[in-house]
Structure 1
Amino acid sequence: MSDLRIRPAGAGDTAAVLDFWRVAAEGTSISDDEEGVAALLVRDPEALLLAERDGRLVGSVIAGFDGWRCHLYRLAVHPDARRQGVARALLEAAEERFLAHGGRRADAMVLTANERAQHAWRASGYAPQEQWRRWTKPLG
């Protein structure tokens, strides 16, 4: 994976990230728009990690830390780059970020029907926590 570069996204990456998620990500998020990505980058400029190979975006993960919990979102790998260690490298970079901030445990939101993603998360040492259920409420 020596040709893989992982870096934080910048404001100039917003359009490319949104285009990338349309191709590589499973499902959509309420924040998958320019305003959502811009707000993330203002709030936590190093949270959105991008993986590039030969200048091409091949992966992403949001590694958000709120001072209490380490949350992982939008882990996505381009279909042409899957099963090449991109997700693992992104998760390792996210975990290093969390440890540097004093994080103790990372959690991820994984779609129940996305079996490919569940395999990738398990392969990286994550496991479902069945006693918890996610509760949501749209704001605004």
Structure 2
Amino acid sequence: MNDLHIRAADPSDIAAVLGFWQVAAEGTSISDDEQGVARLIARDPEALLLAERDGALLGSVISGFDGWRCHIYRLAVHPGARRQGIAAALLAATEERFVALGGRRADAMVLERNELAHHAWKAAGYGPEEAWRRWTKPLR
């Protein structure tokens, strides 16, 4: 695991990240396009973290902090690299970022149908908060 490198994405990574999400991420987001990822990187250059080994992209996570809440999105690990601690390393980096920014609690977007992910999130100390439900409205 010592050869795993975690770094913030930059604009040159956008195409690779979008391709990676097609292979490694469950579901899609309305922002899964070049403009969406470019906007994220421009707004918060440290939010999109990538895990690499020998130059290969093996994992990603978006660690968004709005000054009030800490939000985790798009935690994904390449199917051929799962169960190697990559998600745990990304979450540790995310949590360190949040603490440094003054965050107090992190929440994660986890698909209900992705039961494999439920096990990983529980192992990392996260759990569903049944009192809340996410409400959404497309803006375009």
- TM-score, length-scaled by structure 1: 0.99
Aligned positions of 1:23-102 closer than 5 A: 23-102=23-102
> Cα deviation per residue 1:12-64 (whole Å; 9 max; x = unaligned)?
00000000000000000000000000000011000000000111000000000
1:128 aligns with 2:137: no
Q: What amino acid maps onto 2:69 in structure 1?
A: R
Distance 1:42 1:5 in 2: 22
Q: Which runs of 5+ in 1 are unaligned?
A: none
Tell me which stretches of 4 or more aligned residues in structure 1 moved more than 6 Å: none
Q: What amino acid maps onto 1:51 in structure 2?
A: A
Provide the secondary structure at the position in 2 that maps to 1:90: helix
Shift of 1:79: 0.4
Q: Which runs of 5+ in 2 are unaligned?
A: none
Q: What amino acid maps onto 1:20 in structure 2?
A: F
Shift of 1:90: 0.1
Provide the secondary structure at the position in 2 that maps to 1:64: strand
- TM-score, length-scaled by structure 2: 0.99
Provide the secondary structure at the position in 2 that maps to 1:32: coil
Q: Provide the identity percentage.
A: 76
Q: What amino acid maps onto 1:61 in structure 2?
A: V
Distance 1:101 1:72 in 2: 14
The CA RMSD over aligned residues, in Å, is 0.4
Provide the secondary structure at the position in 2 that maps to 1:23: helix
Q: What amino acid maps onto 1:31 in structure 2?
A: S
Provide the secondary structure at the position in 2 that maps to 1:21: helix
Distance 2:16 2:62 in 1: 15
